[in-house]
Chain A
Amino acid sequence: MSTHDLEQIFQERIDAEIKIEAKEWMPDAYRKTLIRQISQHAHSEIVGMLPEGNWITRAPSLRRKVALLAKVQDEAGHGLYLYSAAETLGAERDDLIEQLLTGKAKYSSIFNYPTVSWADIGAIGWLVDGAAIMNQVMLTRTSYGPYARAMVRICKEESFHQRQGYEIMLALSNGTEAQKNMAQDALNRWWWPSLMMFGPSDKESSHTEQSMRWKIKRKSNDELRQQFINQTVGQADFLGLTIPDPDLKWNEATGNYDFGAIDWEEFWNVVKGNGPCNKERIRASIKAHEDGAWVREAALAHAEKRSARAAQKTQVA
């Protein structure tokens, strides 16, 4: 069968909502797109631990601390589900990690912003995880089976993340004047970067069209962004906080909130490595990887020695 025929059969299966599984034939570009997307997603979970880890030792109570620890541990788990989904496509874990550490692979730009106050932990859970959930709920129906299954697990766990973030914001908003200001300040700084998480506008997004045809994505960046805004405005109102967008206004005709222009220059600047924390995040990731090298090597040496010893024993017996 020619590649053209195979591609046609592949597309027919996608159109019929038949999931693609690991060993089945798929176009090279589908495989490449998935490896790129899933590994970037995994990297985002792993790098995402850094801004939040920054506050574990300074959480204001034991209750907040165990919650944050559990959340950060979940992010590590999510990274692992995703790396293993990428590996079903033939990617090697080492190569993926190397791409992250050398800057060849991207991760979500949102994690290049600093967490300067405790309220940032609230804002991240509420907004950043909220935006991530919106994207990930869509991805539970993605056409590649192992990716979809990883997303189902992740979505189940993420909802606690968003609720713990909102609860932090709620406590601060009902607190002293200083605490309320802290919450407002966090919203001011995280709002626009959270909207940027959905990626460039549909007109500018190079991958969207093909990804939609392959049902890797089922909603466009702009659709998801709008859905996120519609859903979040009421939550901000309930907190008594103001979303930092003077153009934000309910539009009766479209049934959506209109919103102001996004500063795409800032977005691309952060993507290109010039955000406030890009260098620090990569530096911390490299350090963690290098500091752990001896553990990985020792565990392997230990396992090899043990299996050699066991083999010897059976021989003697």
Chain B
Amino acid sequence: MKKNWPLWEVFIRSKNGLSHKHVGSLHAADAEMAIENARDVYTRRNEGISIWVVESDHITASSPNQNDALFDPANDKVYRHPTFYNLPDEVKYI
């Protein structure tokens, strides 16, 4: 019988003050085993102080085909950036 253990995505916080970051994936029978395996696979050299695991099936990702629709609207909105506003050099602390 072929039956893979489910796939989990692993996120590691390398130190306090930083966010968890995706590092890769692994197979495990349940969440507890996924944490233990993630410890062995992704933190053998003190790479982390906190681990998140999420079953890959539970992640909804945007599709690369929709990139235009999703991200283009931000392209022509330069007024969202501070450099859009012209102020004289004499004005300080702004």
Contact = CB atoms under 8 A, between A and B. Distances in A.
Interface in B1-40: 2-5, 7, 24-27, 29-30, 33, 40
A103 B7 CA distance: 25
B29 A300 contact: yes
Interface string A133-163: 0000000000000100110000001000000
B64 A24 contact: yes
A92 interface: yes
Nearest to A24: B64
Contact size range, A: 20 to 34
A84 interface: yes
Contacts, number: 50
A92 B45 contact: no
Contacts of A296: 5, 29
Interface residues of B, number: 19
A87 B44 contact: no
Interface of A: 21, 23-25, 70, 73-74, 77, 80-81, 84-85, 87-88, 92-94, 146, 149-150, 157, 296, 299-300, 302-303, 306-307
Interface of B: 2-5, 7, 24-27, 29-30, 33, 40-41, 44-45, 61, 63-64
Given A85-B24, A306-B30, 12 more contacts: A21-B64, A23-B61, A23-B64, A73-B44, A74-B44, A77-B44, A84-B26, A88-B25, A92-B4, A302-B29, A303-B30, A307-B30
